[in-house]
A = this chain, B = another copy of it.
Amino acid sequence: MRIGLDIGGTKTDAVVLDAAGGVLERVRVRTGTGPAEVLDSAERAVREVIALCGTQTDDYASIGVGIPGVVDRETGRVHHAVNLGVDDLGLGERLRERVGVPVQVENDVKAAALGAYHLLRLHGSAAFLNLGTGLAAGIVADGRLWRGARGGAGEIGHIPLDPRGALCSCGQHGCLETIASGSAVARLWPSKAALPAIELFDAADAGDRRAQDVRHALAAGVASAVRILVLTVDVETVVVGGGLSNLGERLLAPVTEVLQGWGRDSPFLASLRLPERVRMLAPDLSAAAVGAALVGAAEAVA
């Protein structure tokens, strides 16, 4: 059995996988802010999920952790996990000391890519398109994470698509992330609602023209991300996940419409059958935690 953790800005998910990769048990705890609290929540999630299974730490060969931020996979150190209030944390080593099980740390989007691939029983190659505060992708080729030469594969959120576009946090203009992400919605549809994207889509459905424009821009941005992933890597499937993917069919429909429109203008693009390649990740699958468990297991074996 192996454990997977997904440490997010507000919650930490933990899952236990059996030898066949099935999810035996899962728990969710609140994530604290700052290094000590993040470590505490991670340990608590591990102990709770182990207890739920009626097991002990000795029964586990590995823990895999998915976490936002820059991860040094060799050492398990995490840098610049801004949402967690963590600038630098030796997460792998500290968690291993506390629970006595080898720990492997991975970027959360990459972990989610592997988890989605596994949970959706995909084959060949796939990309996981994470629409969170930012936009990034994880790429899985023949069942294995494609990290790239320096760990930067999938950073497509910083490909500029419009030289006249908005200034991105990265310093460039018109990046994909300024069009299709939670932060893009926040900029284009300022709102105090708990779920601004839902409010935006409700307003669009109710006939608000500005909301419809923002929704269309968001859908076109997601479609552009799909196009980039297929034209560059030719992944068979693009799984859309992250906060905005909770919109489900409400987001998929306008994205599909944009892709179909492009296909009408371009026989070449039509031949790629992009609409068929896009899938929304169902909420609450704990893809990142499941993927983290798989990363942990793979690295422990290697």
| A interface list, Cβ under 8 A from B | 124-125, 137, 139, 141, 146-156, 158-163, 170-172, 227-236, 262, 265-269, 272
Contact = CB atoms under 8 A, between A and B. Distances in A.
A162 B159 contact: no
A232 B236 CA distance: 15
11 contacts: A139-B233, A150-B236, A152-B272, A155-B232, A161-B161, A162-B163, A171-B265, A172-B265, A172-B266, A172-B269, A228-B232
Nearest to A172: B266
Number of copies: 2
Contacts of A229: 232
B158 A268 contact: yes
B236 A154 contact: no
Question: Which residue, of A137, A148, A227, A232, has the highest number of chain B Cβ atoms within 10 A?
Answer: A232
A163 B262 CA distance: 12
Question: Which residue, of A137, A150, A163, has the highest number of chain B Cβ atoms within 10 A?
Answer: A150
B152 A125 contact: no
B232 A233 contact: yes
A171 B234 contact: no
A158 B274 CA distance: 14
A171 B261 CA distance: 12
B269 A148 contact: no
A229 B229 CA distance: 10
Contacts of A268: 158, 170-171
B269 A233 contact: no
A146 B141 contact: yes
A268 B168 CA distance: 11
B156 A232 contact: yes
A73 to B, nearest CB: 14
B148 A233 contact: yes
A170 B266 contact: yes
Given A141-B141, A171-B267, A269-B172, A152 B230 contact: yes
A266 to B, nearest CB: 3
Nearest to A270: B171
A256 to B, nearest CB: 18
A157 B268 CA distance: 12
Given A170-B268, A268-B170, A234 B151 contact: yes
A154 B156 CA distance: 15
